Amino acid sequence: MKLALSGGKIITPFEIIQEGVILIENSIIKEIKRIDKTDKRETQIPEEFEIIDVQGKIICPGFVDIHCHGGNGISFNLDLPDKFLDYSEWLPSTGVTSFFITIVPTTLKETIKKLKEIAKLFEFSDYLPEPLGIHLEGPFLNPNRSGAIDLNWLRKPNLNETSSYLSASKNKIKMITIAPELEGSKEVVDFLKRNNITVSLGHTDATYEQTINAFKNGYSHVSHCFNAMRGFHHREPGVVGAILQSKEVYTEIICDSVHVHPSAIKMLINNIGVENVVLITDSNMAAGLGDGKYKFLDRDIIVKNKKATFKDGTIAGSVVTMIEALRNMVKIVGVSTQDAIKMATINSAKSVNFDKILGSLEVGKKADIVVMDKYLNLIFVIKNGKIIKSG
């Protein structure tokens, strides 16, 4: 299949081409160029390409969500692999073309079983949004910063347990969130790094010094900054203080007007730079749906005014989608559209080592593309060179 997107504003996101053409052939980007205003557009595109006029539209890479737990009524922990197709058919409506299947480990036996089942999903059709790997959010987390995760599922880092997870997943685990202050974490982190798995710092009560040392010794990522971690204090800067001084670490942020105040997001960006901020959803099964009662793993949650909580008021994941989070970054936080797109695409891909094949519009990369109007409303999505309707 040969497609030509013609006339749109292309945000690669490294540069902006105000009026350009993208040629797509066999699921790969073949060429990106500016339109020559002295010549007709049609003469600049080979005859065999089907031309799609996208004048006045924004063209950018497909979004990459590396921290999501489900959406559209589907929970990764509860409903995979059975409802994976339903989930993947809905996901393009959010602009996501690639993602990590994030699950919360429960008991050892249940987690092994779930990983074996999810591992079967990685033989997928090329026109579906693509699961890049599995993200384990736990079980090696600090009980004092458990957030919405059941305390009964948290335990100290264990090398044998970690190895069994990798085997059960057929090496599809690509990221694990760990609290660095826990006994046994160093041995596990060293093992994960030898296996090229991204280690993310999260659900942690680490001190400033412990956090800085973690960044020096294998942790290259932070899970949902500001949430479920020790905050800043002028006598003990804590995890947040360490993050704000660490420009070599990719740091996730949830931009849903619930989890983090816009001013805190601005502070993060101003300190570590746009290039190190990764936009995520941390979405639960209610993402994309309205107010009501849902499940977060084995507990009831209530969604009201786009906020998901347990009965005691504890926030239980988000209901934001990536296209909504992108708009929030621009309209509420005040970043440029180009910078917001970076956070949702190339930064995500780089943080988990997939940037050689996706995350930006470049010749030779996958033709994973989002087309939006000037108000950042989704029009359609292209995955591996094939058009997927957004609705």
Give me the active site residues, please.
Answer: 282
Tokens of 57: 């539209």
Q: Write the CA distances from 277 to 234, 262, 322, 331, 346, integer angstroms.
A: 24, 14, 14, 17, 10
Q: How far apart are CA 188 and CA 383, in angstroms?
A: 36
Tell me how far apart the alpha carbons of residues 211 and 213 are, in angstroms, rounded to a whole number.
5
Token pair of 232 as six digits: 């800043």
HSE-CB for 275 with a 13 A CA cutoff: 4
How many angstroms separate the CA atoms of 262 and 324, rounded? 15
| C-alpha span between 198 and 367 (Å, rounded) | 25
Sign of CA dihedral 345, 239, 281, 324: negative
Q: How many CB atoms lie within 10 A of CB 333?
A: 21
Q: What SS3 class is residue 33?
A: strand
Sign of CA dihedral 172, 177, 182, 185: positive
Helix (H) or strand (E) holding 367: none
Half-sphere exposure of 17 (CA within 13 A, CB side): 20
Kindly give the pairing relationship between strand 219-222 and strand 292-296.
unpaired
- Rounded to whole angstroms, how far apart are CA atoms 375 and 272? 28
As a whole number of angstroms, the distance between CA 251 and CA 157 comes to 22
Compute the distance between CA of residue 26 and CA of residue 21 in angstroms, rounded to an integer. 17
Amino acid at residue number 141: L
- The HSE-up count of residue 92 (CA atoms within 13 Å, CB side) is 24
Using CA atoms of 70, 73, 79, 84 in order, give the dihedral in degrees to the nearest 10.
Answer: -70
Q: Which amino acid is at 71?
A: G
